[in-house]
Amino acid sequence: MPSVLPQRPVTSHYIHAPPTREQLDYAALPVIDLAKAGTVEGRAALALQTRDAMTTHGFFYVVNHGYTLDQTERIFDIADIPFARVGDEEKKLYEGQVKVTGSYQGYKPKRYWHIDGGVQDQLEMYSINRDVSKRAHPEVLRPFLPEIEEFAKHSHFNVLHPILKLLALGLELPEDTFVNIHGYSSVGETYARFMKYHPRSEDEEVKTKSVWLKGHTDFGTITILYSQPVAGLQILSRDGQWKWVKHVPNALVINTGDAMEFLSGGFYRATIHRVVQPPPDQRSCMRLGAFYFGMCDDNVKLVPFAQSPVLQSVGINKRYDDVDAPTMEQWRKGRTSAYGQSELKVASSTTHVEEEYINGVIVKHYS
């Protein structure tokens, strides 16, 4: 007899706002088709394309990643549950002790980060370790944990690992070089995250110059964003201009973070990006996000793979001596604990850049 599939728990279908009709200055991001990664020849060709995308833009789209549009929409249905179906008092019970633990697991409430002009953020987050049993979750979310775990596994094995292979090949390293330090069962903080931006008052927009999240780099290796239609994400292009990232249905938006910059000797630079107020036709809309943040294993020391023929040719750009290199655990805890909480100093070179020191390394934030 055919097997009976378990019935999925029921939740409301999340309806995104329609895509903006505003004529925005979009970044011309390359598209990487993972359907071509199934052969050695295909990966070799994609590696060159990915290397060019990373060194030219720092962001790219991924298509044919293995999720159908229906599966992606289901993830957004689930992503809204921690915000729409959990009350404020229960949220407090599952709040992450971010500053103490250096971990985002659990809720980050609104008004935790300082943005500018005395204004705090209007962003709720709920982060879940890929091992969903690491900590307890709100009651209403518990029936959906098997699907969240499947989402994490898909993102890890079907997206993160293939991209890591392409990046290793781009450095002319064995293709499993980065995969081997991103174990699914290893000790580490790679996690799924759901985020919900709430609209702000006009007074707050004026005080922050409409910036919702200052320009920054992520601290891990690879960030995977499931594209959604409410505009707001911008990247700082190589010519110093902020460009919008356009929504592509059922595509993923990929960028590199600090850890990949360190491991690649500066070849794959961490990409500066920010979030700003959506355009006028989406100004009153909620902005719901689904992410997978990749980090290498906690015990990995963030030193360059100097044996790379590419790095030996172009040179290695270090931000610290190898002997002083932090581990992934040290770097993520330092960045997590400090973000939005520490006092930033205006850089001497420009009033649009602020700085702080994390583990002896300058970390910059951009207005």
Rounded to whole angstroms, the Cα distance separating 127 from 223 reads: 14
Per-residue pLDDT of the chain (367 residues; tens, 9 = 90+): 444 546 889 999 999 999 999 999 999 999 999 999 999 999 999 999 999 999 999 999 999 999 999 999 999 999 999 999 999 999 999 998 888 888 889 999 998 888 888 899 999 999 999 999 999 999 999 999 999 999 999 999 999 999 999 999 999 999 999 999 999 999 999 999 999 999 999 999 999 999 999 899 999 999 999 999 999 999 999 888 999 999 999 999 999 999 999 999 999 999 999 999 999 999 999 999 999 999 999 999 999 999 999 999 999 998 889 999 999 999 999 888 765 554 545 565 554 676 555 555 655 556 6
Q: What is the pLDDT, as a whole number, of residue 355?
A: 57
Rounded to whole angstroms, the Cα distance separating 53 from 125 reads: 29
Which domains, from first to last, does the chain contain? 31-366 (2.60.120.330)
Rounded to a whole number, what is the distance in angstroms from the first to the last CA of the chain? 61
| pTM for this prediction | 0.93
The total number of residues written for the chain in this structure: 367
- Strands in 345-346's sheet, in edge-to-edge order, are 242-244, 233-236, 273-276, 211-216, 361-366, 353-358, 345-346
Q: What is the pLDDT, as a whole number, of residue 342?
A: 47
Q: What is the pLDDT, as a whole number, of residue 3?
A: 47
Q: What is the pLDDT, as a whole number, of residue 343?
A: 54
Alpha helices (runs of H) in 105-239, residue ranges in sequence order: 145-153, 161-170, 202-208
Q: What is the pLDDT, as a whole number, of residue 1?
A: 44
Structure tokens at 137: 């979750």
Q: What angle do CA 348, 355, 317 make, to 5 degrees?
A: 90
The answer to whether the beta carbons of residues 296 and 188 sit under 8 Å apart is yes
Backbone angles phi, psi at 337, to 5 degrees: -65, -35
Q: What is the pLDDT, as a whole number, of residue 143?
A: 97
The answer to whether the beta carbons of residues 122 and 114 sit under 8 Å apart is no
Rounded to whole angstroms, the Cα distance separating 141 from 290 reads: 15
Q: Give 56-100 as a DSSP string.
A: HTSEEEEE--S--HHHHHHHHHHHTHHHHSS-HHHHHHTB--HHH
Rounded to whole angstroms, the Cα distance separating 248 from 184 reads: 28
Structure tokens at 15: 């309806």
Closest CA to 183 of 269, 292, 294, 303: 294
Under DSSP, the state recorded for 301 is B
Mapping DSSP to helix (H, G, I), strand (E, B) and coil, where does residue 240 land?
coil
